[in-house]
Amino acid sequence: MSKTLVYTAIFGSEDSSISLSNRDAAPANTDFICFTDNPNLQSEDYIIVFVKPNFSDPTRNARQIKVCGTEHMKDYTVAIWHDYSLTMDCSKLSELIEFASKYTISLFNHDETCSYAEARKCIELKKDKVSVLVTQMLVYALAKKLPTRNGVFETGIIVIDVETYFGSPLQLKWWRDIDRFSKRDQLSLPCIKYQLKVEFGILEGRGHINPYSTYRKSLTSTNATTDRTLSVWQKLGIWWIYKLELFINRRK
């Protein structure tokens, strides 16, 4: 019998609750789990599972559960990840579950054209260290030959076929690059897709605006600072990645 797990994770947050929309409309045999390091988090909709963090960075802890899952996954045929900032509409879960019968993972397209453009934006918005982002793009450009305009994906919701994803080269290589380079999982996924020549299902909408969920802001943001002043190092990092793109395009 098919079973579905809807899961999310939040670390380093002061939020005290998490909920769903249209909970009674959820398909049969669907469980909801929230993994957290917050002993005060409560929910009437989710099973709260306390997890000891493996990293000092809250975002990286959530990314690990997002990409690698936990021992709970073996009990399900479909897993649906959603970012903690999204309130899932349970009346739409059946539409998402259908994707798992056709694709190993399904997610949103991103407005950016490629990992290089996204890396420049990450530097601008201070979402990770300049040195880490530039190094990652250098490796992708020179060692892995990742072309420009190769697409980027938003990972706020990921529909997963449990059997073909967890433990697969896609999952293992994706986490390896997140662990080695930037915690921004959107940067590494296009390169892994390019290397493995896999096809993804594409969900309707975008990360914060889609038919399956509504966006809500967490009390404690673990994302980029609101300071938009660019340092010298940021400007240099953006320039280096732009030059990489020019080099790649000339190489074609």
Q: What is the pLDDT of residue 1?
A: 72
Query: Of 36, 35, 37, 40, which is closest to residue 17 (Cα–Cα)?
Result: 40
Does 147 fall in a domain? no
The residues that bridge with 32 in the sheet, in sequence order, are 6
**Quick check: is 114 in a domain?**
no
Cα 139 to the chain's mean position, in Å?
A: 21
Could you tell me if residue 88 is inside a domain?
Answer: yes
Residues whose CB is less than 8 angstroms from the CB of residue 140 and which lie 6 or more positions away in sequence, other chains included: 115, 116, 146, 191
Which pLDDT score is estimated for 225?
58
Q: Residue 47: how many CB atoms within 10 A of its CB?
A: 13
Quick one: pLDDT at residue 207?
92
Owner of token pair 């038919």: 211
186 in a structural domain:
no
Which is nearest to 121 in space by CA: 210, 6, 245, 35? 245
| Residue carrying structure tokens 């201070």 | 126
Q: What are phi and psi of 122, to 5 degrees?
A: -65, -40
How far apart are the C-alpha atoms of 221 and 40, rounded to whole Å? 17
Does 32 fall in a domain?
Answer: yes
Q: Which domain holds residue 77?
A: 4-108+153-162+198-221
What's the CA gap between 66 and 230, in Å, rounded?
A: 31
Q: How far apart are CA 61 and CA 178, in angstroms?
A: 11
In a domain, 210, yes or no: yes
- Alpha carbon distance 177, 229 (integer Å): 28
Closest among 70, 97, 98 to 7, alpha carbons compared: 70
pLDDT reported for residue 220: 54
Residue 246, pLDDT score: 94
| Residue among 74, 51, 77, 75 nearest 64 (CA) | 51
Residue 125 covered by a domain:
no
Q: How many CB atoms lie within 10 A of CB 119?
A: 32
Read off the pTM: 0.94
- The number of domains in the chain is 1
Give the separation between CA 54 and CA 199, rounded to whole angstroms: 31
Ranges of beta strands (E only) in 141-236 are 153-161, 201-202, 213-215
Residues 160 and 100 sit within 8 Å (Cβ to Cβ): yes
Residue pLDDT tens, the chain, 252 long: 799 999 999 999 888 899 999 999 999 999 999 999 999 999 999 999 999 999 999 999 999 999 999 999 999 999 999 999 999 999 999 999 999 999 999 999 999 999 999 999 999 999 999 999 999 999 999 999 999 999 999 999 999 999 999 999 999 999 999 999 999 999 999 999 999 999 999 999 999 999 999 998 765 554 545 677 899 999 999 999 999 999 999 876
**What's the pLDDT at 252?**
65
Asked if residue 100 is part of any domain, the answer here is yes
pLDDT score of 251: 79
